[in-house]
Chains A and B, each alone.
Chain A
Amino acid sequence: GAGVSQSPRYKVAKRGQDVALRCDPISGHVSLFWYQQALGQGPEFLTYFQNEAQLDKSGLPSDRFFAERPEGSVSTLKIQRTQQEDSAVYLCASSFTGGNYGYTFGSGTRLTVV
């Protein structure tokens, strides 16, 4: 497609529930990034893929967070046993090459844990 597509746009989860957030990057983009954006803050790095390889997951806040990109295209961010502090907008971005070129961001998934 023409841009980065994320789904769902909004997700309400009960505390303790598992969620899966999907990202469809721009076709042909090698690099894919996940960021977490709390209200009124800048995006915070979570993890980075180059093709199907997860090269950096240093930003994942706990072992409840897991990301995959099995075929080097679509990526899924999974959060297990959600907690209220997980409430945020989760942004996905893709880039033709690596991190030192402009990212194209999706519109994000707003996760609210109640």
Chain B
Amino acid sequence: GENVEQHPSTLSVQEGDSAVIKCTYSDSASNYFPWYKQELGKGPQLIIDIRSNVGEKKDQRIAVTLNKTAKHFSLHITETQPEDSAVYFCAASNQKVTFGTGTKLQVIP
């Protein structure tokens, strides 16, 4: 089955700096890569996704990149704000979504 690895497990940045989270996946059949943000006591919330026919996608301060050859994908958050503090999960899907282990992002005001 699919195996998704994610790093770093924790990340602290100063407000206004950028944050980068990197993931790798194992199943070359995976073709959909969503990213979720999870706040304490809540379920994961989809923030952005990318499909295998696209190399990059941007939505305001959030961008994702995908390298299908290397099976790498990344999340970039620019101009971080304290409300970006949460746990972020990458995931890979071929009909069934497999999650990474999460990155706890802390944005320091």
Contact = CB atoms under 8 A, between A and B. Distances in A.
Nearest to B43: A105
A103 interface: yes
Contacts of B51: 100
B43 A108 contact: yes
B34 A4 contact: no
A72 interface: no
A101 B94 CA distance: 10
Given A41-B102, A43-B89, A102 B46 contact: yes
A107 B51 CA distance: 26
B41 A107 contact: yes
Given A41-B102, A42-B101, A105 B93 contact: no
Interface in A33-68: 33, 35, 40-45, 48, 56
B95 A105 contact: no
A103 B102 contact: no
B42 A45 contact: no
The B interface is mostly helix, strand or loop, or mixed, namely strand
A91 interface: yes
Interface in B41-70: 41-46, 49, 51
Contacts of B78: none
B18 interface: no
A91 B44 contact: yes
Contacts of B42: 107-108
B45 A99 contact: no
A112 interface: no
Contacts of A45: 96-98
11 contacts: A42-B101, A43-B89, A48-B96, A99-B96, A99-B97, A100-B94, A101-B32, A102-B49, A104-B46, A107-B43, A108-B43
Interface of B: 4, 6, 31-32, 34, 36, 41-46, 49, 51, 89, 93-102
